[in-house]
Amino acid sequence: MKEVDVSIIKEIGIVGAGVMGPSIAELFAIFGASYDFSIVVYDISPTQLEKAKSRIDIDFTKVSSTGLFSSSDLEIARNRIQLETDINSFADSHLIIEAVPEKLDLKLKVFKELDKLTSPTTILATNSSGLSVTKIATVTNRPTLCIGTHFMNPPLLMPLVEVVKGHQTSDQTVQTIMELLSNVNKRPVLVKKDIPGYVHNRLQAALFREVMHLLDEDVINVSDLETTVRYGLGLRLPIMKVFEMVDFMGLDTIQNVLTYLYPALNRSILPPDFLREMIEAGNLGVKSGKGFHDYSRQDILASMKQKEAATFQLLMMMQQYD
Ligand SMILES: NC(=O)c1ccc[n+]([C@@H]2O[C@H](COP(=O)([O-])OP(=O)(O)OC[C@H]3O[C@@H](n4cnc5c(N)ncnc54)[C@H](O)[C@@H]3O)[C@@H](O)[C@H]2O)c1
């Protein structure tokens, strides 16, 4: 079977118009101007599509306010995105990115449907946060064309995308997707082995495990823990790479430290009991108004907007240290 190289990809389908799908569509519409992409976003829920439409309008206004694009370019980009409730709108897609909820059964169902519906050369990508790409590909007749594209939230702003190679994903599919993502200004990384959580979420989970353990052991309180992460490690990371940090510390010093520290680190295989107790008490985080911090008096939307603007500025600054 002839495989698709990056120059062929013009029609891009996205399944799921929730948090991730619309922003992935915006990315290809805005940064793909010279590639003439057309993007179809499909969702089973018309309500979700309505919400997606308003969200895309808001995001385009935000992008316009950066002054990086002319209003005529943005208007053309906006018109590249079509919202659809009919899955048959995907029939001509060269690439489809699935962004439905993180439930394996649902992803299997969607991939099976897409496999039947699309040309046998269409690449099928999953935006899963950590499910097995290999497993998802088993329900299709094209495992060589199935791949993971794990975007960070929000995809339009966050540069990192983990490109996850399933056991049978072909090298050509990997190359096509890596090139495509580079062409739209992303920083794709190749995850060569399809392991749970891929790479980014494993690193995040390692940090979460240790901070929750330190709280559980009453070593430090939440406020001081936040200060430790933000003004220690957190301040270094935008400017120094991890292995650069190791090089500056000295590999011999690091070896000495890790030799006594590794055995002392938390190795539990379950989240701590206090997390379950917080959940049972209704403290779910931002969505319930309280988690480790209190959000009941915060304007969450305004705060998100401010954080996105700050992330954009930080990103501009970080690029000097690449
Ligand atoms: N939200 C994040 O921060 C984030 C970050 C990285 C990766 N992801 C991953 O991206 C994927 C999507 O996450 P999300 O947060 O956008 O989910 P979401 O729940 O916000 O949106 C999912 C959308 O899929 C639609 N949907 C459900 N079943 C469908 C079907 N059979 N056909 C078409 N549409 C269907 C829903 O109506 C909904 O609009 C998940 O795999 C998630 O793990 C999410």
What's the whole-model pTM score?
0.95
Task: Answer whether residue 4 shows pLDDT above 80.
Answer: no
pLDDT band (50, 70, 90) for residue 13: very high
Task: Determine which residue's CA is closest to atom 7 belonging to ligand 1.
Answer: 129
Task: Determine which residue's CA is closest to atom 25 belonging to ligand 1.
Answer: 16
Nearest 10 degrees: CA dihedral of 149, 47, 90, 13?
Answer: -30
Neighbours of 57 (CB within 10 A): 10
Ligand 1 atom nearest to CA at 102: 41
DSSP-derived letter for residue 220 is S
Task: Determine which residue's CA is closest to atom 19 belonging to ligand 1.
Answer: 101
The answer on 109 and 24 residing in a single domain is yes
- The long-range contacts involving 70-78, CB below 8 angstroms and separated by at least 24 positions, are 73/33, 74/30, 76/33, 77/26, 77/29, 77/30, 77/33, 78/29
The answer on 183 and 116 residing in a single domain is yes
1 within domain boundaries:
no
Residues with CB under 6 A from ligand 1: 15-21, 42-45, 48, 99-102, 106, 110, 127-129, 151, 153
Phi, psi of 132 (to 5 degrees): -75, 120
Would you state the pLDDT for residue 3?
74
Neighbours of 70 (CB within 10 A): 10
Residue range 49-77: mean pLDDT, rounded: 94
What is the best residue among 19, 88, 90, 115 to mutate for testing ligand 1's pocket, by most ligand atoms within 8 Å of CB?
19
Sign of CA dihedral 236, 238, 243, 248: negative
Would you state the pLDDT for residue 320?
85
- Ligand 1 center–CA 20 separation, angstroms: 6
Ligand 1 atom nearest to CA at 109: 31
Task: Answer whether residue 1 shows pLDDT above 70.
Answer: no
The answer on 115 and 153 residing in a single domain is yes
pLDDT band (50, 70, 90) for residue 156: very high
Task: Answer whether residue 322 shows pLDDT above 90.
Answer: no
130 within domain boundaries:
yes
Structure-token pair, residue 301:
């939307």
Q: For residue 289, what is the domain's CATH number?
A: 1.10.1040.10
Structure-token pair, residue 72:
């005529």
Residue range 93-108: mean pLDDT, rounded: 98
Task: Determine which residue's CA is closest to atom 18 belonging to ligand 1.
Answer: 18
The DSSP line for 109-158 is HHHHHHHHHS-TT-EEEE--SSS-HHHHHTTSS-GGGEEEEEEPSSTTT-
- Which of residues 191, 218, 239 is at a domain's end? 191
pLDDT band (50, 70, 90) for residue 321: confident
Residue 118: which domain range?
6-191
- Ligand 1 center–CA 132 separation, angstroms: 16
> For the chain, how big is the Rg over CA atoms in Å?
21
Q: Which of 65, 66, 116 is nearest to 87 (CA)?
A: 116
- Which of residues 139, 161, 191 is at a domain's end? 191
CA–CA distance, 68 with 312 (Å, rounded to integer): 12
Ligand 1 atom nearest to CA at 110: 31
Task: Determine which residue's CA is closest to atom 21 belonging to ligand 1.
Answer: 18
Would you state the pLDDT for residue 91?
87
Task: Determine which residue's CA is closest to atom 30 belonging to ligand 1.
Answer: 44
- Ligand 1 center–CA 294 separation, angstroms: 26
Lowest mean pLDDT among 217-226, 272-281, 309-318: 309-318
- Which of residues 141, 161, 191 is at a domain's end? 191
Task: Determine which residue's CA is closest to atom 28 belonging to ligand 1.
Answer: 100
- Ligand 1 center–CA 109 separation, angstroms: 14
167 within domain boundaries:
yes
Residue range 222-230: mean pLDDT, rounded: 98
Residue range 145-160: mean pLDDT, rounded: 97
Task: Answer whether residue 2 shows pLDDT above 70.
Answer: no
The answer on 255 and 280 residing in a single domain is yes
Would you state the pLDDT for residue 33?
83
Counting beta carbons within 10 angstroms of the beta carbon of residue 60, is it exposed (0 to 12), middle (13 to 18) or buried (19 or more)? buried
Q: What is the mean pLDDT of the chain?
A: 96
- Ligand 1 center–CA 24 separation, angstroms: 12
Look at the chain and report how many structural domains it folds into: 2
Residue range 65-82: mean pLDDT, rounded: 94
Task: Answer whether residue 86 shows pLDDT above 80.
Answer: yes
Task: Answer whether residue 143 shows pLDDT above 80.
Answer: yes
